[in-house]
Amino acid sequence: MKLLVTGGAGFIGANFIFHMLDAHPDDEIVCLDALTYAGNLETLEPAADNPNFTFVKADVADREAVYGIFEKEKPDVVVNFAAESHVDRSIEDPGVFLRTNIIGTQVLMDACNKFGISRFHQVGTDEVYGDLPLDRPDLFFTEETPITASSPYSASKASADLLAMAYHRTYGLPVTISRCSNNYGPYQFPEKLIPLMIANALADKELPVYGTGENVRDWLYVEDHCRAIDMILQNGRVGEVYNIGGHNEKNNLQVVKIILEKLGKPESLIRFVTDRKGHDLRYAIDPAKIHAELGWLPETKFEDGIRKTIDWYLDNKPWWENIISGEYRDYYEKMYANR
């Protein structure tokens, strides 16, 4: 089987490629990535010498380039991770989110229709369900929760999901969609909460917590997400949505304090800053469907996952120090200087 993995030079896509090369050594993987600020070829170094792995630099919204790749590679399965993924950036500049996340998905699905594939898997997010109130811990997102969106990012991801379902119904494209909660683990770009807090704490810099720090996220170790997508590709039902989440809710302040404690740094580094616009209060996934149908359950407890993640950032300083010295420095200044 040949898989085309888009966005594979980013955080989850790269972890997914490593998982698949390991779990299915006979499969071939072609990674298509535009190498935006969030994509990094260094991340894919562990796969570089694998004869079943190839990389091609292309933009998912570039129809000519995408069709050319399909014509040459003839993939059986497409897994679409390629996206602009950071909510804060989408608030500053929504345009590129609509282009990559919506038009890019459309172009990929048109290519699938034109050249033929056995599966198109759209990697979605729980953010398409909006948010839940903090005082109703009994409520969870199920696959039937109505789609809504708080940020340009989540609106673009919701649009892509709707488009994928429309392509399934209208053209019979064999689509599956997964909607996952917040991932953490190796190779996550340091603009996201956990790696940002690790990097700042190690540098004894302030840790910017938005609002009161009470917003809740449902944290899942990235390998558990990759295993879930693998299971959906093997046995998931076409035309279905699968929620993926770990029943591991923590508010942001709790997460930040755990990181400080593990690194032996003082809580005085925490600084409460102006809240994110439209900030979602709580995400919480009900993963009953993927558990019942495919037998998936998360395997990594937060206690172990956060330890492994912190150790990875400690052991791989060149990877992220390189990133935070480039374009990211300007971004950080703009985002946090007068907050």
Kindly state the tokens that stand for 199.
């990097």
The nearer residue to ligand DAU, 36 or 125, going by C-beta atoms, is 125
| Candidates 126, 131, 223, 280; catalytic one | 126
Q: How far is the CB of 42 from ligand NAD (least distance, A)?
A: 12
Check if the beta carbon of residue 217 is closer than 8 Å to that of residue 178: no
Indicate which of ligand DAU, ligand NAD, none lies near residue 35 (CB less than 5 to 8 Å, by partner kind).
Answer: ligand NAD
By CB under 6 A, name the binding residues for ligand DAU.
85-87, 125-127, 181-182, 192-193, 196, 208-210, 215, 217, 252, 276, 283
| Candidates 129, 153, 283, 328; catalytic one | 153
88 catalytic? Reply is no
Kindly state the tokens that stand for 159.
């649009």
The nearer residue to ligand DAU, 18 or 283, going by C-beta atoms, is 283
Q: Which residue is nearest to ligand DAU (CB)?
A: 125
The nearer residue to ligand NAD, 39 or 186, going by C-beta atoms, is 39
127 catalytic? Reply is yes
The nearer residue to ligand DAU, 40 or 75, going by C-beta atoms, is 40
The nearer residue to ligand NAD, 94 or 269, going by C-beta atoms, is 94
Three-class DSSP labels, the chain = CEEEEECCCCHHHHHHHHHHHHHCCCCEEEEEECCCCCCCHHHHHHHHCCCCEEEEECCCCCHHHHHHHHHHHCCCEEEECCCCCCHHHHHHCCHHHHHHHHHHHHHHHHHHHHHCCCEEEEEEEHHHECCECCCCCCCCECCCCCCECCCHHHHHHHHHHHHHHHHHHHHCCCEEEEEECCEECCCCCCCCHHHHHHHHHHCCCCEEEECCCCCEEECEEHHHHHHHHHHHHHHCCCCCEEEECCCCEEEHHHHHHHHHHHHCCCHHHEEEECCCCCCCCECCECCHHHHHHHCCCCCCCHHHHHHHHHHHHHHCHHHHHHHHCCHHHHHHHHHHCCC
- Separation of alpha carbons 67 and 43, rounded Å: 26
Q: Which residue is nearest to ligand NAD (CB)?
A: 10
| Candidates 127, 161, 191, 249; catalytic one | 127
Q: What is each CA distance from 170 to 167, 175, 333, in whole angstroms?
A: 5, 12, 46
Indicate which of ligand NAD, ligand DAU, none lies near residue 209 (CB less than 5 to 8 Å, by partner kind).
Answer: ligand DAU
Q: How far is the CB of 219 from ligand DAU (least distance, A)?
A: 9
Indicate which of ligand DAU, ligand NAD, none lies near residue 75 (CB less than 5 to 8 Å, by partner kind).
Answer: none
The nearer residue to ligand DAU, 65 or 273, going by C-beta atoms, is 273
73 catalytic? Reply is no
Indicate which of ligand DAU, ligand NAD, none lies near residue 201 (CB less than 5 to 8 Å, by partner kind).
Answer: none
Indicate which of ligand DAU, ligand NAD, none lies near residue 208 (CB less than 5 to 8 Å, by partner kind).
Answer: ligand DAU
By CB under 6 A, name the binding residues for ligand NAD.
6-7, 9-13, 33-36, 38-39, 59-61, 81-85, 100, 104, 123, 125, 157, 180, 182-183, 189
Q: How far is the CB of 128 from ligand DAU (least distance, A)?
A: 9
What are the catalytic residues?
A: 126-127, 153
